[in-house]
Amino acid sequence: MLRSPWDYSRRRDEFVAWAATVPALANPAATVAWNTDKRYLAELAAAGVPVVPTTWLSPGDPVELPADGEWVIKPAVSAGSVDTGRYNLTDPSHRALALSHVARLVEAGRVTMLQPYLPAVDTYGETALLYLGGRYSHAIRKGPMLDGPDLGVEGLYKEEAITPRTPTDAERAVADAVLAAVPGGADHLLYARVDLIPGPDGSPLLVELELTEPSLFLGYADGAADRLATAITGTLGR
């Protein structure tokens, strides 16, 4: 069971190749390979899942940024909000920093993501729904993390402000739809985390689906650790 290889994004090809050699890895190596490149979001969107609108820039593509508004720029292979920044493209200085950020990623041969910043994260926050053994277990709220351009991160991830949360019926429905759209189905997943933020109309949008090495926040819900242990023993039984 993978738990905290949060530096995998720096050597993803090597990490995915290693995962394929681990017998009975949970979640399976094929899922790890699919989930460690955020272009899976495009597949889920094509399957009808409500996903944050995303523009993908591959090395060699022309770089055309929107004329205004707040936007998030990050690489398709990343973890812990590293190499991720928030930019007000109406501000000339931010626009210059955004172009520099994209250029830095492109020069490194990385696919870049451009997404609108969802202002609801500043007030309502982000809802992360945790599933263990294919069943909903608990949820937490994450506070806002992106306060401006990417200036680098000390360590492997940005610190998070976490509190328990009871998800809405709409969030539960979207999370269930996300897992139903996972290639091969959700039955083979030992654990999953679905991260949602309200869109402009208040409806939940998928930000990320964490199937590789997510924090499971077991300390924020009574019985969560026991539910994980039960799910693990069930997997061993199969």
Q: What is the pLDDT of residues 131-154, one digit of tens each?
A: 999 999 999 999 987 766 666 555
Q: What is the pLDDT of residues 54-72, one digit of tens each?
A: 999 999 898 889 999 999 9
User: Tokens 């993501």 — which residue?
Assistant: 113
d(CA 47, CA 185): 13
Give me the pLDDT at residue 228, please. Answer: 97
Give me the pLDDT at residue 130, please. Answer: 98
Q: What is the pLDDT of residues 173-189, one digit of tens each?
A: 999 999 999 998 888 99
For residues 36 and 208, the answer to whether their CB atoms sit within 8 Å is: no
Give me the pLDDT at residue 157, please. Answer: 55
Give me the pLDDT at residue 187, please. Answer: 87
| Beta bridge partner(s), residue 192 | 131
Q: What is the mean pLDDT of the chain?
A: 92
d(CA 95, CA 107): 18
Give me the pLDDT at residue 95, please. Answer: 94
Contacts of 233 (CB under 8 A, 6+ apart): none
- What average pLDDT does this structure show over 200-222? 96
HEC-encoded secondary structure of the chain: CCCCCCCHHHHHHHHHHHHCCCCCCCCCHHHHHHHCCCCHHHHHHHCCCCECCCEEECCCCCCCCCCCCEEEEEECCCCCCCCCEEEECCCHHHHHHHHHHHHHHHHCCCCEEEEECCHHHHCCCEEEEEEECCEEEEEEEECCCCCCCCCCCCCCCCCCCEEECCCCHHHHHHHHHHHHCCCCCHHHCCEEEEEEEECCCCCEEEEEEECCCCCCCHHHCCCHHHHHHHHHHHHHHC
Give me the pLDDT at residue 151, please. Answer: 63
Q: What is the pLDDT of residues 76-122, one digit of tens each?
A: 998 777 789 999 999 999 999 999 999 999 988 999 999 999 999 99
Question: What is the pTM assigned to this prediction?
Answer: 0.92
Give me the pLDDT at residue 190, please. Answer: 96
